[in-house]
Structure 1
């Protein structure tokens, strides 16, 4: 990794910690990480961990409700938000993270679709747990780490809360006004405790720093000019030593379809624009229902037990277009389709769009034995069972683009922690993954080769390991190291639907190497300090895979991607520091530096830089919070995105990123029994193109970022 020694020395001297504490609560032992499967405190996990607590979420909500932006503000190794409905290209440490709600996977293993970041309203979240780097604690899909949204819990008091917020652009144009509202209740009786909420959000159009309307993504989905609603309910009952809890969350987001894109010109610096015109297809939307039933017992033969049964129903409709890829000669002249143009061979092209459906079922069973026979040995063991059925069809013609595919996975695991000597904790674990993919015979679309593919049931198995050590040099200082493996599948839908994935004369599912699982190795070294006046942490990591996946956008302008299977290596430094200046001020810095390369010529040597669809930019986040004696609080934060060149195997620059800086400011003021907040996002009205647009986008997706916006919110409990 080409980082100057002086810079590394500076980072180490800064030594950094995830911004997981406040001036009032600075003890890392207080917060336990449920995503670890052992409910460990942050200081006992030999990995970089970020906890975004309720106070930090409330600070971020003053300026934005976009979860990708919030995570990037506090965990800078996460990619900048695309500010769209799709989160394609948003990675953690350069690889896809596993996104969960209360441990229920939201990521779709068979056909990603880039919508796993739009499945819950932020108002329902109590905190966010982020475990950085590949790991197998929850199995499938955690090559970049785990992002676990922990939903709110009953407070024990019967109470209600109403929240309202309005966001206006710098131009004050009425069509750019966004607003949201939510109502929440919490209560308990002798038999039952409950918490529930309902929210509604209406997003106006977005404007850039020049007061020009930002272009719309009519293909993958657009969050501006949209509406979303969320219904959340959690019911629980406590027995003598156990608890039964039911969680339900239903999220629906729909674009209004009132705007069409105006093609930009990337080479000449002309951004993609928008014009008010009804889209001639069903507007993009997301509908997701997540349910889980969890039973926990504190003492079964001296062990803790947890059983979780979960289900997720996911449906996403993507925007339409007039593409030759979707031409079907059987529909020529049909009243079923609307002709929109003529192809290169004189064929009639028509509007078409796709719909992705996924149904997940699963069971997570775990046992935890602490301090076995007084030996200092802790053991967690159990089994995960998972089933996902996915298909992608065409909305207009009804044709199958991705055939119905079923993925079944069984994974027993065991994890040990051992306090070998005072202040030294060793950890190790093993997880065995057995998976099977079932696909019936099918035929690819006419525009994707029109190939007959023989179905099959290929199975896969992998044994994954993790090892770690954490040593407390002093009560305030520790060093740690770890080796973790992550398991995942390529975007199977993209493989199956593309005839080029099956070059043989008699193509078969069983013969496709492109369906081979991805195993990622993550090595990490870190140090952290937790003191009275400041906290700090630094970590170096190396993530590698011999047969990874890289998303590459097709050159036809359709906005669709194909999967490349290649070796890749990503290295990086993450560091954070927070200084506590008296009782009222916290000042800090978060930093993330990454470099990633892939093997472009199959010689098992990485030679080309990963692009912006696969790697985050280098960035520094600065922040200052101040709490007044009268309970007024303020936050000022800045995000510095650094310039970057991407080079190919010949050391020639094939893409560039012009960095930019955004500044946000907010204040929270107690008013009567409620709280009034005012936030300004992009305070200095920075004019910029988004990271994804600069590094990956084409003329049809060359989007500016949002200009200055002001948000006023009010929350009233009663």
Structure 2
């Protein structure tokens, strides 16, 4: 039995028809777009409003999050729905290949970096449950506001804050696939409490989510990724607490979030065939290794003071303890003949009948950091605002094999010291100059180690490598009228290549006596981002458009090798694109909008300092248009319909030959919310018309083991009550 497309479409049409009947004349006293200006962008380091930053900024507030939660709890999908220059979700535990403007973004929780600079691992998108998030700040384009990693921009998850009232909130939701198969049902629950006393304010939350099996539009089980990690047939738990105390002019706040996601390991992949269009499938069979999992604890202690010699002070001490286990496999990369007869290892057969064994890896990373900043407003009545401070950062990472205990990536320690200064100056009325400088001193330390047998079994001499970079930014913003703004900016971003991929690859260290100091591949990535944009914020319409160009002379492109793992290629690359969004406030209750992202990118394939080959699907997002219509009823009911149109794309090499192609597709989601008793009932349908498609990553980077289809139609029902 399946949901009938005609029935679902009829129900949505009826809801929209009612919306049209319920429309009122425009409320000329309402400008919904001005509400966003009440929010300051904390990721800017100067707590500025979005319209005062000379970059493209996207704020996803709690209302928008709640609308998206009706159909999905996947944060990558949500960000892509509202900021289309972000890659479409892979619908897996790993977010490898998910980029912002074609480059990896820095993901943070309340300013605490989640991305791992030494060994990415692709799990930075799975470190917090969405129920804990109040809003998401996205600053598009490379920048150095928070130092390391923001080559594509910054995605900052701002967690909830205590309300000041004693309140409890309980939420439940369940998702059912179109096939109505019982093993495809997903469900989740969360409980949150908030309160305060004279001494302390507090907010705490716990959540649990159980993901069922994913089905495609043909009611077939979607293939599992047993290497990088699978989110279907998994369970996740999140514990979150925030404690704060307000002094006369200051505040001390502690935040702790612990997130754990574990795959059940009950499904094995069935190889597909790209040449015949056969997708990778799955069969119910216990995995012969530890199932993939993610465990992350993020902690921050923040002290703020409103008046230190007339300046605002912020000091944040943070820690992140990250551990990710990746699925196992029978592959040449992990095989060592010296261990072939070890009775403690589960034996398997290689592609040519070799006697190999199952193995997998665990990535462990511990980060410590201190962020300090002082903000001075209108210094000496000059109209100059300044933000300045020093950031300290340490990351220690190691990736070891789970079964044999061999080190795949040796323990590596990265230390970073970075003072910065940011200035804003009103040159004339409505014309603001923003400029800043950040000095990065970084040191990498690696002990002596030996690569795996499959990577040459090389003895590598350890050592230290240090880097010094001075990064600049400058931008001008001009308000032509109170509603129209134009801006331009130049920003530099600083990042490291995925050092783990370099260190574990014996080819990175040629010569008879290789050492860390001889490898130029450890040089940092400096990305230059130039942007031109314009905003209009009117009473009945808001519109934004920007053009950007992102370039690096020594980038870090991910290249898939024959074992299914990625290597890092250090090459010149250039990406340019256009972003635009338009929202029309048709009435006080109706919003109609469009988001657009067009981008193209090339890299230098032959080291002649000229870009000549299209970046592939692991390194650039598809061109897409997102459309949406929301309607709010007078009785607090609301509806939303949204469509994602992904455009066709061909990928060409230096000779002009097509080496890959993407067959675009369109998906539609619809959702409904209404008050019920003392709570709120939500209904949502994802992939409303049950579109059958291979996802973007599979089409452009897929192998027979990872040729996955996207999820078919699913229906979600949820209920939230506060008391």
Under a length normalisation based on structure 2, what TM-score does the superposition of the two structures give?
Answer: 0.95
1:203 and 2:242 are equivalent in the alignment? no
CA distance in structure 2 between the partners assigned to 1:28 and 1:207 by the alignment: 38
Q: Which residue of 1 aligns with 2:42?
A: 34
Aligned pair partner of 1:337 in 317, 335, 345: 345
Per the alignment, residue 259 of structure 1 pairs with 267
Q: Which runs of 5+ in 1 are unaligned?
A: 1-21
The equivalences for 1:213-232 within 5 A come to 213-232=221-240
Residue from 647, 651, 660 that aligns with 2:665? 660
Give 1:89's aligned residue: 97
Query: Are 1:592 and 2:597 an aligned pair?
Result: yes
Q: 1:415 matched to which residue of 2?
A: 422
Checking the alignment, whether the CA contact within 8 Å between 1:27 and 1:530 is kept in structure 2 is: no
* 2:681 aligned residue: 676
Match of 1:404 in 2: 411
Relative to structure 1, the CA distance from residue 480 to residue 25 in structure 2 (aligned partners, 3 Å threshold; closer, same or farther) is: closer
The answer to whether structure 1 residue 489 and structure 2 residue 499 are counterparts is: no
- Inter-partner Cα distance in structure 1 for 2:50 and 2:474: 17
Shift of 1:338: 1.2
Q: 2:608 is matched with which residue?
A: 603
Where do 5+ consecutive residues of structure 2 fail to align?
1-29
- Map 1:492-531 to 2 at 5 A: 492-531=499-538
Secondary structure of the structure 1 residue equivalent to 2:278: coil
Number of the residue aligned with 1:66: 74
Contact map agreement 1:343 1:349 (CA 8 A) in 2: no
Match of 1:300 in 2: 308
Aligned to 1:447: 454
Number of aligned pairs? 694
Please state whether the residue corresponding to 1:398 is helix, strand or coil: coil
* 1:401 Cα deviation after fit: 0.2
Other structure's SS at 1:32 match: coil
Aligned residue number for residue 7 of structure 2: none
2:205–2:239 Cα contact (<8 Å) kept: yes
Match of 2:440 in 1: 433
When structure 1 is superposed on structure 2, of 28-37 and 650-659 the one drifting more is 28-37
Q: Is the 2:456–2:506 contact (alpha carbons within 8 Å) kept by the matching residues of 1?
A: yes
Distance 2:437 2:409 in 1: 34
In the alignment, the residues of structure 1 paired with residue 351 and residue 123 of structure 2 have an alpha-carbon distance, to the nearest angstrom, of 31
Return the offset for 1:505: 1.6
- Contact 2:331/2:350 (8 A) holds in 1: no
The residue aligned with 1:465 is 472
Q: 1:28 to 1:676 in 2, by over 3 A?
A: closer
Q: Deviations over 1:173-200 (max 9, x none)?
A: 0000000000000000001000010000
- TM-score, normalised to structure 1, is 0.96
- What residue in structure 2 maps to residue 185 of structure 1? 193
SS of alignment partner, residue 668 of structure 1 = strand
Q: Is the 8 A contact 2:31 2:538 kept in 1?
A: no
Q: Distance in 2 between matches of 1:505 and 1:464?
A: 37
Aligned to 1:158: 166
What is the CA distance between 1:499 and its match in structure 2?
0.3
* Structure 1 counterpart of 2:107: 99
1:321-343 Cα distance to aligned partner (Å, 9 max, x none)? 00011111221211121110147
User: What is the alpha-carbon root mean square deviation over aligned residues?
Assistant: 0.9
Following superposition of structure 1 onto structure 2, how do residues 70-149 of structure 1 map, counting pairs within 5 Å?
A: 70-149=78-157
Task: Please list, as runs of the form range in 1=range in 2, the aligned pairs for 1:278-293 lying within 5 A after superposition.
Answer: 278-293=286-301
1:615 to 597, 606, 620: 620
* Contact map agreement 2:33 2:537 (CA 8 A) in 1: no
Matching of residue 269 in structure 1 with residue 280 in structure 2:
no
Secondary structure at 2:555 match in 1: strand
Deviations 1:146-180 (A, max 9, x none): 00000000001000000000000000000000000
Residue 719 (structure 2) pairs with residue 709 (structure 1): no
SS at match of 1:630: coil
> Is the 2:340–2:357 contact (alpha carbons within 8 Å) kept by the matching residues of 1?
no
1:634 matches 2:639:
yes
CA contact (8 A) 1:23 1:586 kept: no
CA distance in 2, matches of 1:28, 1:162: 27
Q: Name the residue aligned to 2:379.
A: 372
Structure 1 residue 353 corresponds to structure 2 residue 368 = no
**C-alpha distance after superposition, 1:98-146 (max 9, x if no partner):** 0000000000000000000000000000000000000000000000000
Deviation at 1:25, TM superposition (A): 5.1
Q: Is the 2:33–2:542 contact (alpha carbons within 8 Å) kept by the matching residues of 1?
A: no
Rounded Cα–Cα distance in structure 2 between residues aligned with 1:617 and 1:135 = 22
Residue of structure 1 equivalent to 2:6: none
Distance in structure 1 (CA, Å) of the matches to 2:354 and 2:336? 9
